[in-house]
Amino acid sequence: MDAIREDLAWLGFGWDEESRQSAHETRFEKFLDVLAGQGQTYGCTCSRKLIQVDQGATESRYLGTCKNAGIAWSSGQGIGVRTILAPQMVCWNDMRLGDFTHNPQEQCGDILVRDRLDQWTYQFAVVVDDLVENVDLVIRGMDLLDSTARQIQLGQLLGRNSPPSYLHHPLLLDPNGNKLSKRQLSKSIRTERAEGVSANSLLGEVCFQGGLIPKPIQIEVPDLHTLF
């Protein structure tokens, strides 16, 4: 975490210490209680290995194995918690890509909101945080495009009247077309710094590869908002 903060500071970004998800245990418990009070939750003992990806599918769909099993759930018991997503067509607009219509129940099935290790899942945590903190614009990579409809539906269950606006940008890829990641041993910001690349040059290169500017130029953080 300290290394991430150092990289952000070098690039010129600030951050809100209070927005860290690890600090919001009480908040997540409260909204889990909201779902439970609506009869929208059930205990789940299924592991990831038990949920197989169908041939040709892009993600695993949970088939409701534990939905009617009557598994009681509480923290520390090694039991996950899922929330029921009713079949529903969710229509939404991406600010870059246009209109989409998805049925989350067909995409992923009932969402896991807390896993068997009592860890809050990404899908649940971001919806809760965006709701509480009045986030009205979400900018993220194309790899999360399919998460949008389920997050909108989950937000509705939690009492959100209207969803945020969304913009999904292209991913930065290495020369072989792979997404940048530690697993692929992609070059890190720290390595770029050590090689003498300036923060403004790196930001400009990222904006160019993301399709925001026609050629790489030096960009400062205060100027980024003008590109959207």
**Pair 152, 193 in one domain:** no
Which pLDDT value is given to residue 19? Answer: 54
End-to-end CA, the chain: 28
- Domain boundary, last residue among 131, 148, 169: 169
**Pair 111, 152 in one domain:** yes
What is the residue-level pLDDT of the chain in tens, covering all 228 positions?
A: 678 888 889 898 887 765 555 568 999 999 999 999 999 999 999 988 878 765 556 678 999 999 999 999 988 899 999 999 999 999 999 999 999 999 999 999 999 999 999 999 999 999 999 999 999 999 999 999 999 999 999 999 999 999 999 999 888 776 666 666 555 546 678 888 888 999 999 999 888 887 789 999 999 999 888 886
Residue 16 belongs to a domain: no
Residue 161 belongs to a domain: yes
**Pair 213, 199 in one domain:** yes
Return the CATH number at 79.
Answer: 3.40.50.620
Count up the domains in the chain and report the number: 2
**Pair 105, 35 in one domain:** yes
**Pair 89, 151 in one domain:** yes
Residue 220 belongs to a domain: yes
Q: At what angle do helices 199-209 and 2-11 cross, to 10 degrees?
A: 90
Residue 132 belongs to a domain: yes
Which pLDDT value is given to residue 182? Answer: 53
Percent of the chain that is helix, strand, coil (3-state, to 5): 40, 15, 45
**Pair 211, 164 in one domain:** no
CB 4 within 8 A of CB 191: no
**Pair 176, 164 in one domain:** no
Residue 102 belongs to a domain: yes
CB 106 within 8 A of CB 86: no
Residue 105 belongs to a domain: yes
Cβ within 8 Å of residue 143, ≥6 positions away:
171, 179
Radius of gyration of the chain (CA): 20
**Pair 61, 140 in one domain:** yes
**Pair 130, 180 in one domain:** no
Integer Cα distance of 210 and 96 in angstroms: 12
Residue 203 belongs to a domain: yes
Which of 132, 160, 135, 163 minimizes the C-alpha distance to 149?
Answer: 163
Place of tokens 């945020």: 164
Which pLDDT value is given to residue 7? Answer: 87
- Domain boundary, last residue among 169, 200, 219: 169
- In terms of pTM, does the model score above 0.95? no
Domain that holds residue 211: 171-228
**Pair 32, 106 in one domain:** yes
- Domain boundary, last residue among 169, 184, 203: 169
- Strand (E) or helix (H) holding 152: helix 148-157
Integer Cα distance of 176 and 191 in angstroms: 19
| CA dihedral of residues 166, 167, 172, 177 (deg, nearest 10) | 90
Maximum separation of any 2 CA atoms in the chain, in Å: 59
